[in-house]
Amino acid sequence: MQTSIPNILVVDDTKTNIDILLELLSDEYEIVVASDGESALEIVDEMSIDLILLDIVMPVMDGFEVCKILKNSPKTSQIPVLFITAKTDETSLEKAYEVGGADYVTKPFKARELKVRIKNQLELKSLIYNLEERVKEEVNKVTQAQELLLQNSRMAQMGEMISMIAHQWRQPLNAISAITINLVTKLSLGKYDFNNEEDVLACQEKFTQSSQKIDIYIQNLSSTIDDFRNFFKPDKEMRTLPVRSAISKALHIIEASLASDNIKVIQNSADDKSIEMYDSELMQVFLNLFKNAQDTLKEERIKEPKITIITQNTQEGLTVEVIDNGGGVAEKDMAHIFDPYFSTKSEKTGTGLGLYMSKTIINTHHKGNISVRNTKDGACFTITLKNRI
């Protein structure tokens, strides 16, 4: 929550530009100045920065590279970056959003417009923070209210689900923002002469193409909401489906989070046959295994982290192996790994219910089996499922 005057970092190698921004913003904000990318990165590492105004064309390290480094660091990835540049070409605009920029202002800028954009970004950052805090509070309330272990296990995963969905939404939301900013920029720069029929047709075609792209991104967002809703909906209907459908749904939820941690997912799957299943429950099992592997790989700081999924058909049904290269399960924990409230994680991140509920879903609900063993590189969880429950 923003309780003090926001700190804004201005990064520009031209003193005149810095002086203009200082005069414009110093009355409302604490301004910190860096004349190059390396200095900017040192500043954000040493002090709290609420927003960065970043030039693109600078010696040694340009603004795109600075922004990319900021967004790849957990410590600085949430700081909004507003590009201020003389570059008006569409390629630069698109690249700015690709590397994680929150907004794009061209020089010469209008003072009032720049102030509004800065205010909007700071308010959005505060809103996201407050929303995250509110979500944490609500998740805690709901989790504490559950009486059944299955419900308790699912609600305990809600915070992780929201984090995964936030990763999943970031790219399409940034893409929609880039498309709309691009359209507004073209219009404001007078790129189209509406007294010229060719320009009118070109404008119509551009808007049609952009609206189609936005529609695709919106469908992607809607699909994520459906996955979230289905995950928490009690699953009472048995279906006959390929097991890859449950695997794919789980990966769709967590894939952006895995990608942000540079975790490679390798799938070596047979053309698996359809079996009887409760698909959202099975999705919960796979999501739990993927998330556990992710946490282990992060905690152990594996250099080339990966999760391998192997599906093999059998006469009675099929097997699915989820393998990581995180070092494996300690021998003293192996006999208790599926016990309720047993966790190898810290109290803050582990409920001790995930693997217990996974075993209940596989062994009791699906009449199958789940087991764990160590490989030379990590842990291997094996799920055995029957053709018919």
Q: What is the pLDDT of residues 289-309, one digit of tens each?
A: 999 999 999 999 999 999 999
For the CA atoms of 288, 289, 295, 297, the dihedral, rounded to the nearest 10 degrees, stands at -160
The whole-number pLDDT of residue 146 equals 47
Q: Sketch out the chain's domains with CATH numbers.
A: 7-109 (3.40.50.2300), 234-388 (3.30.565.10)
Q: Give residue-wise pLDDT tens across range 197-231.
A: 888 888 888 888 888 888 777 776 776 666 566 55
Q: DSSP readout, 146-166?
A: --SHHHHHHHHTHHHHHHHHH
What parts of the chain have a pLDDT lower than 70?
A: 1-3, 142-168, 170-172, 220, 223-236, 345-352
* pTM confidence score: 0.48
The whole-number pLDDT of residue 343 equals 74
- Alpha-helical (H) ranges within the chain are 15-25, 37-46, 63-71, 90-98, 111-145, 149-156, 158-188, 197-232, 243-260, 279-299, 331-334, 354-359
